[in-house]
Chains A and B, each alone.
Chain A
Amino acid sequence: MKWLIWLITLSLSAQPVYSWDLSELFKPQKKKVVQQTGHSKKTKKKAEPSPTPKPKADEGRKNYYQVDADWMARYSALEAIWKYQIPEDDQIIFEAGKYYVPPVVYRHYDDMAVTPKRNGSRAAPH
C-alpha cells in the first residue's frame, strides 16, 4: 500500500500545478480592430500595342479598316486555301471602289498568313 501511495505522489509531482499557465484562458478578450483599406494607388496598365501592324482605321466608319483589292484578293485566296471562312466576312463592305473590313477579319488574315501549312511552308501568298 505504501508503494502505491508513493507511486501516485511521484506521478503528480512530475507535472507540478504551478507549471499550468491559465492566464491565457481567463484574460479579457481583445477588441477586434477593423482594418481600414484605402483605395489602391496602382495605376491601370495601358493596353499593349498589337504585335502586327494594322492599317489605319477609316474615320468615316468606326472600327473598320480600309484595304485595297490586292489585300482582298490575298485574303480570299487564303480563305480558299484553308477552307476557313468566318461569320464576320458578312461585315465586309465594298463601297465607292474601296473595301472596308472589321478588325476580326484583319486578324483572321494574319492568323492564316502566319500559320504554316502541313508541308512546312507558310500559306501566305506574298
Chain B
Amino acid sequence: MEAARLRTENGVVISKIGGAYLYIFTGGEPIGSVHAGNTVQVDYWLHVSGRPRFISMDATMAGQKFKPSIYPGKSNQPANWSGGFYILSSKQGKLDVVISQRLWEKIADQPTRDRVKALQQAMSREANLNVTIERVKKEYRIKSVIIE
C-alpha cells in the first residue's frame, strides 16, 4: 500500500495513488503534454468548465521506476487539431490515437471536416482519458486507451 500524494504543478493537480497517476484540470483551457519515458506522449487541449477533467495513467505494470512528466503549454500539436487528446506511442506505430494530417487531407468535403472538428471539440469539452502503461523490453508502451 502506497501513500496518496497530492501536489499542484502549473495549475494541474497531480495525484499519485499506488501505481496510478491522475492529472486533474480544474478550470480554464489547459494545453500541454504528458510524457511517459521517451516513447509515450499524450497531448491534451481541454476546455474545462464545471466538473474537473482528468488524464489517468495506470502504471502498475510499468514498474517502480516509472515517473511520467507533465509539460504545460503548446508543443508540437498537429495542425487542424481542435482539442481533445492526441496520443502517441513511438514504438507502436499502429496505436497512435489521432486524426493525422494525411487523413485530414483525405477528407475532401467541408461538412465531414466540420463533423470531425465537432467531435474533437466535444472531446475537448467533455471527455476524460484513461491510459494503461506497460513496460516491454525496457520501454514503455500503451496497453489500453479508454476515452470516457
Binds B, one of A34-42, A46-54, A86-94: A86-94
> A79-B6, A80-B6 are contacts. A93–B1 as well, Cβ < 8 Å?
yes
Contact in complex: A76, B128 (CB < 8 Å): no
Answer yes or no: B82 CB below 8 A from chain A CBs: no
Query: Which residues on the B side are within 8 Å of A89 (C-beta)?
Result: 3-4, 6
Interface of A: prevailing SS: helix
Contact in complex: B17, A73 (CB < 8 Å): no
CA distance A79 to B4 in the complex (A): 12
Answer yes or no: B120 CB below 8 A from chain A CBs: no
CA distance A93 to B53 in the complex (A): 21
User: Could you count the A-B residue pairs with CB atoms below 8 Å apart for me: how many are there?
Assistant: 68
Query: Which residues on the B side are within 8 Å of A126 (C-beta)?
Result: 50-51
> A89-B4, A92-B4, A125-B52 are contacts. A69–B26 as well, Cβ < 8 Å?
no
Query: Which residues on the B side are within 8 Å of A72 (C-beta)?
Result: 15, 17, 22
Interface residues on A, range: 20 to 34
Chain A positions near chain B (C-beta within 8 angstroms): 69-70, 72-74, 76-77, 79-81, 85, 89-95, 97, 99, 125-126
A-B contact pairs, 27 of them (CB 8 A): A69-B56, A69-B130, A72-B22, A73-B15, A73-B22, A73-B24, A73-B56, A76-B24, A77-B26, A77-B52, A80-B6, A80-B24, A80-B26, A81-B26, A89-B3, A93-B17, A94-B17, A94-B19, A94-B20, A95-B18, A95-B60, A97-B58, A97-B132, A99-B20, A125-B26, A125-B50, A126-B50
Chain B positions near chain A (C-beta within 8 angstroms): 1, 3-4, 6, 8, 13, 15, 17-20, 22, 24, 26, 50-54, 56, 58, 60, 128, 130, 132
